[in-house]
Amino acid sequence: MSIPSETAIEVQGLECRQGERTILRDVTFSVRRGELFFVIGGSGCGKSTLLKHLIGLLPVAAGRIAYFGSDFTAAGAAERRAMQQRFGVSYQYGALWSSMTLAENVALPLQEYTKLSAAEQREIVRWKLAQVGLAGCEDQFPSEISGGMRKRAAIARALALDPPILFFDEPAAGLDPITSRSLDRLILEIRDNLHTTMVIVSHELPSILGIADRAILLHRDVQGILADGPPRRLLAESTDPRVREFLAPEDVVSAVHQP
């Protein structure tokens, strides 16, 4: 049994809607402090929808979300905003502002949530960009750098306020395998150095099987969680064809090649 103070996120009986349509129901899980927690599943199963509910971007239809023991769902506006300041988010389609330099992009959360001087902000921005391997890129514009560098810059922006919880929606989407692995190393480094709790939506099997401590697999059939556990264990032990289809697509490929 986990010690309550070590629980970073607790979700109970959550129902998630998009407009009038229920996408997920009765979602229950908890995430330990410092855990690399993955949300996985096929396209359209509700991963981004769940993330948007977790960070308070969409209203909760039913159920409860708590962070470090504080009820997020029942919190008033001011308390909610204070809790949201402790989240770093990199959205699935949340690109950087193209008209701003990397430094200006990373400084945005500092401007919005802190009263730091321009010089202090510059210092933090320089350090955050260095942390993600982009030292010296302060004055570059997003269009001048590669896709992998843009993802790193978005992570630097999510890290700006030293959040105890990070939410990443498809951080490696569209990256080549080598860049994708280097992003995994960065994620591990952040967790090991800062003990950050991370909720990561991903399709990338090498990341899921390589770095996730635990994952929930969402599925449309059940409108919720189909499997929950360390991905390697799910792969080794689950006999559910829907779990295998996702975690071991080579099973499907070899089946196709059978006469």
The angle formed by the CA atoms of residues 142, 144 and 149, to the nearest 5 degrees, is: 60
Cβ closer to Mg ion: 48 or 105?
Answer: 48
Decide which of ligand ATP, Mg ion, none touches 44; Cβ closer than 5 to 8 Å per partner kind: ligand ATP
Q: Which two tokens stand for residue 136?
A: 């010296």
**What is the per-residue burial (b if ≥16 Cβ within 10 Å, else e) of 43-68?**
eebbbbbbbbbbbbebebeebebbbb
Determine which residue in the list 8, 38, 40, 49 makes contact with ligand ATP, applying CB under 6 A: 49
The total of other beta-carbon atoms located within 10 Å of residue 215's CB is 28
Q: What are phi and psi of 160, to 5 degrees?
A: -50, -40
Stretch that binds ligand ATP, among 2-10, 42-50, 130-138, 244-252 (CB under 6 A): 42-50
Q: How far is the CB of 226 from ligand ATP (least distance, A)?
A: 13
Contact 134, 156 (CB under 8 A): yes
Q: Determine which helix (DSSP H) or strand (DSSP E) holds 145, and give its type and residue range.
A: none
For residue 53, state whether it binds ligand ATP (rule: CB under 6 A). no
Stretch that binds ligand ATP, among 40-48, 119-127, 185-193, 234-242 (CB under 6 A): 40-48
Site string for ligand ATP, 155-174 (x = CB under 6 A): --------------------
Helix orientation angle between 147-159 and 102-113, rounded to the nearest 10 degrees: 20
Q: How far is the CB of 130 from ligand ATP (least distance, A)?
A: 31
Find the binding residues for ligand ATP in span 15-34 (CB under 6 A). 18-19, 23
Determine which residue in the list 8, 10, 48, 53 makes contact with Mg ion, applying CB under 5 A: 48
Stretch that binds ligand ATP, among 36-44, 153-161, 176-184, 209-217 (CB under 6 A): 36-44
Interface with ligand ATP (CB under 6 A), residue total: 12
For residue 202, state whether it binds Mg ion (rule: CB under 5 A). no
What residues contact residue 218 under an 8 Å CB cut-off, 6+ apart?
24, 39, 40, 41, 45, 46, 47, 50, 224, 225, 226
Stretch that binds Mg ion, among 4-12, 87-95, 130-138, 246-254 (CB under 5 A): 87-95
Contact set with Mg ion (CB under 5 A)? 47-48, 92
Contact set with ligand ATP (CB under 6 A)? 18-19, 23, 41, 43-49, 92
